[in-house]
């Protein structure tokens, strides 16, 4: 079906393609999201770090305080015992001390004078390591300690506090020993024993959390007091010891169970003991975990909201940009169409001018011939010649009307308005095609509304409009096809005339171009000007033209015209 297509701006392809629009939207989203979300992430990271540091310092402070207080108490306890031994060994002679009764009285006096009764037994060991005198619950008199570490240390240092060991009694204990020089150049050692259970009592604070743990270890990480987590005395713990520090060191560690702990460590001066205070990080940082989750949730919710707004905004932006581009393309297409029509108008004007000249000559010569025949009374077959000349003059007049309309298309000549009965006009136009409809067995139905008003418009141009549309409809239908012509009021001041056929229809890709000059699908027979001219005439008359089509089902053209001249 060869229908010319043209100035249909609805189909104009936007300059921004869908792929370019998607790329532009991705770029806008990426750039805007970076600008909007990056500061949020930086702020969240700073707050995360600062809050965590503040809450960690708040969690570490009680650990450090308890550890420091316990360290001082333990150091004071050991210092009192060392001082008591040094006082005894310096105040009394070897003979005054070296008897079970004297040692028993000394133990009793020291335990009464000290704040905590700690000494289990006392013994005097000579320079060879043999225990000469002993007072206590065990049978240790005569035992030799020459090969034990504590003896070598006190001999070298003068005073010594050992770590916890089992010794001859096979009970966990530690000793505090003090060396004294004898007049004969030798020495002896006053040795006091303290039960290891006392250490557990000394290091345990008044209140301790259910998951907390406080205990003593030696420098090798062996327990010197029981631990809730790691077992009884003399068991090795799975935690590394921090480097020596005179104060309290609180740090985060992970044990062999994979649990993260806050560990407060303090080295007990003048002893092998290291005090450890353990608190699970989850308990110590419980408030931080809640705050962290809230901070992360807030950040994620904010980022999602920002992204949603950015996606919506970028979509609107790209949509507006595409719409502006589409309007711009439509305008450019309209300008191009106007240029085509202008070129067509110039071509039409030239053709009309070239035709009018020989028509004028034909008209003049035919008129002269008619005058000559009329003046010659005896001219043979006079009436026959006059009829032939009148036929020539009528044809010339018809050609003049056609060229006049062609010039009107080219020059946009003024519309000649007159009252028109659309029903009568449509039937007149159909009369031009009646023979073809009858020959091809086409069914043409009229449906003219009883309330159809009389309109004011240009009769000749309306005839051309409907004749062009009907010609296309005839070309579209097969023999035996059907064409429906409907005219009815359309709104308060308009009428609508629709011409529908059951022909082959117009492909969707061609619909947007049906009013474009020189576009045609009639191979070898169409010029592509019929519907373009029709579109221009309808617009000049103040109306509009619409088309609906479906391939294989037919096409409907609807011409909407004002009932009165506008403007």
Q: What is the pLDDT of residues 38-68, one digit of tens each?
A: 888 888 888 888 877 887 888 888 889 999 9
Vertex 250: Cα angle to 244 and 251 (nearest 5) = 95
Residues 166 and 219 in one domain: no
Residues 186 and 210 in one domain: no
Segment among 150-164, 236-250, 295-309, 518-532 with least mean pLDDT: 518-532
Segment among 93-102, 312-321, 468-477, 515-524 with least mean pLDDT: 515-524
Average pLDDT of the chain is 83
Residues 155 and 228 in one domain: no
What's residue 7's pLDDT?
38
Alpha carbon distances (Å) from 401 to 207, 405, 407, 447: 118, 6, 10, 31
Q: Is 291 exposed, middle or buried (0-12, 13-18, 19+ CB in 10 A)?
A: middle
Backbone angles phi and psi of 342, in degrees to 5: -65, -45
- Digit-coded pLDDT (tens) for 379-405: 777 778 778 888 888 888 878 766 765
Q: Which residue has the higher pLDDT, 194 or 381?
A: 194
283/212 Cα distance (integer angstroms): 9
Q: Are strands 187-195 and 248-254 parallel, antiparallel or unpaired?
A: unpaired
273/266 Cα distance (integer angstroms): 9
Q: Tokens 């056609």 appear where?
A: 402
What is the 8-class DSSP label of residue 449?
-
Asked if residue 444 lies in contact with residue 437, where contact means CB atoms within 8 angstroms, the answer is yes
With bands split at pLDDT 50, 70 and 90, how would you rate the model's confidence at 556? very high
Residues 170 and 208 in one domain: no
Q: Of all residues in the chain, what percent carry a pLDDT higher than 70?
A: 87
What's residue 117's pLDDT?
67
Q: Which residue, 460, 361, 448, is CA-closest to 414?
A: 460
What's residue 11's pLDDT?
41
Which pTM does this prediction carry?
Answer: 0.51
Classify each residue of 487-497 as buried b or exposed e, where b means 16 or more C-beta atoms within 10 Å of its C-beta: beebeeebbbb
Which residues, including other chains, have CB under 8 Å from residue 231's CB and lie 6 or more apart? Answer: 223
Domain that holds residue 184: 92-195
pLDDT of 482 > 90? The answer is: yes
Residues 142 and 277 in one domain: no
Domain count, the chain: 3
Residues 169 and 184 in one domain: yes
407 lies in a domain? no
What's residue 394's pLDDT?
81
pLDDT of 90 > 80? The answer is: yes
With bands split at pLDDT 50, 70 and 90, how would you rate the model's confidence at 133? very high
300 lies in a domain? no
Which of 151, 175, 195 is at the close of a domain?
Answer: 195
With bands split at pLDDT 50, 70 and 90, how would you rate the model's confidence at 342? low
With bands split at pLDDT 50, 70 and 90, how would you rate the model's confidence at 430? confident
pLDDT of 96 > 60? The answer is: yes
What's residue 334's pLDDT?
61
Q: What is the mean pLDDT of residues 96-109?
A: 87
pLDDT of 221 > 90? The answer is: yes
Residues 464 and 543 in one domain: yes
Residues 484 and 429 in one domain: yes
What's residue 191's pLDDT?
92
Residues 429 and 532 in one domain: yes
What's residue 273's pLDDT?
95
299 lies in a domain? no
526 lies in a domain? yes
pLDDT of 413 > 60? The answer is: no
Residues 433 and 557 in one domain: yes
Residues 219 and 178 in one domain: no
Q: Which residue, 411, 485, 413, is CA-closest to 443?
A: 485
């Amino acid at each position: 079906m060869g229908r010319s297509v043209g100035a249909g701006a609805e189909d104009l392809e936007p300059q921004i393609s869908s792929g370019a629009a998607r790329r532009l939207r991705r770029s806008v989203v990426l750039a805007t999201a970076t600008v909007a979300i990056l500061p949020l992430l930086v702020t969240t990271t700073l707050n995360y770090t600062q809050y965590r540091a503040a809450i960690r310092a708040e969690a570490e402070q009680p650990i450090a305080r308890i550890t420091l207080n316990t360290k001082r108490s333990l150091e004071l306890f050991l210092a009192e015992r060392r001082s008591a031994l040094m006082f005894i060994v310096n105040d009394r002679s070897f003979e005054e001390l070296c008897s079970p009764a004297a040692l028993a009285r000394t133990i009793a006096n020291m335990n009464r004078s000290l704040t905590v009764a700690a000494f289990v037994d006392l013994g005097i060991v000579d320079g060879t390591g043999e225990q000469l005198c002993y007072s206590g619950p065990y049978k240790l008199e005569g035992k030799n300690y020459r090969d034990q570490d504590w003896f070598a240390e006190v001999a070298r240092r003068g005073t010594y506090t050992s770590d916890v060991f089992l010794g001859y009694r096979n009970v966990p204990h530690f000793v505090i020993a003090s060396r004294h020089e004898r007049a004969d150049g030798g020495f002896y050692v006053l040795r006091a024993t303290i039960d290891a259970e006392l250490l557990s009592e000394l290091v345990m604070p008044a209140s301790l959390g259910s998951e907390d743990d406080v205990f003593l270890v030696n420098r090798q990480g062996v327990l010197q007091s029981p631990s809730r987590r790691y077992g009884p005395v003399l068991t090795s713990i799975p935690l590394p010891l921090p480097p020596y520090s005179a104060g309290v060191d609180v740090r985060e560690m992970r044990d062999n169970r994979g649990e993260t702990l806050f560990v407060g460590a303090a080295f007990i001066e003048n002893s092998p003991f290291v005090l450890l205070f353990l608190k699970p990080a989850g308990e110590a940082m419980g408030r931080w975990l809640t705050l962290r989750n809230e901070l992360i949730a807030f950040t994620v919710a904010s980022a999602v909201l920002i992204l949603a707004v950015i996606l919506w905004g970028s979509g609107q932006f790209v949509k507006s940009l595409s719409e502006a581009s589409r309007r711009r393309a439509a305008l450019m297409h309209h300008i191009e169409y106007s240029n085509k029509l202008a070129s067509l108008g110039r071509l039409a004007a030239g053709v009309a001018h070239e035709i009018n000249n020989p028509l004028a000559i034909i008209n003049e010569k035919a008129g002269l011939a008619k005058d000559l025949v009329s003046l010659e009374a005896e001219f043979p077959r006079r009436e026959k010649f006059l009829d032939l000349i009148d036929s020539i003059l009528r044809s010339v007049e018809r050609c003049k009307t056609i060229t006049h309309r062609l010039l009107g298309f080219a020059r946009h000549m003024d519309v000649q308005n007159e009252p028109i009965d659309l029903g009568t006009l449509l039937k007149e136009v159909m009369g031009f095609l009646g023979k073809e409809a009858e020959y091809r067995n086409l069914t043409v139905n009229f449906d003219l509304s009883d309330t159809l008003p009389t309109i004011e418009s240009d009769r000749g141009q309306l005839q051309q409009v409907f004749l062009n549309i009907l010609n296309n409809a005839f070309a579209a239908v097969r023999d035996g096809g059907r064409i429906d012509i409907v005219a009815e009021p359309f709104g308060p001041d308009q009428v609508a005339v629709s011409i529908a056929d059951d022909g082959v229809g117009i492909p969707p890709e061609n619909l947007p171009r049906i009013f474009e000059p020189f576009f045609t699908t009639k191979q070898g027979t169409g010029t592509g000007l019929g519907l373009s001219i029709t579109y221009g005439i309808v617009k000049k008359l103040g109306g509009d033209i619409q088309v609906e089509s479906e391939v294989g089902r037919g096409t409907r053209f609807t011409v909407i015209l004002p009932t009165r001249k506008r403007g």
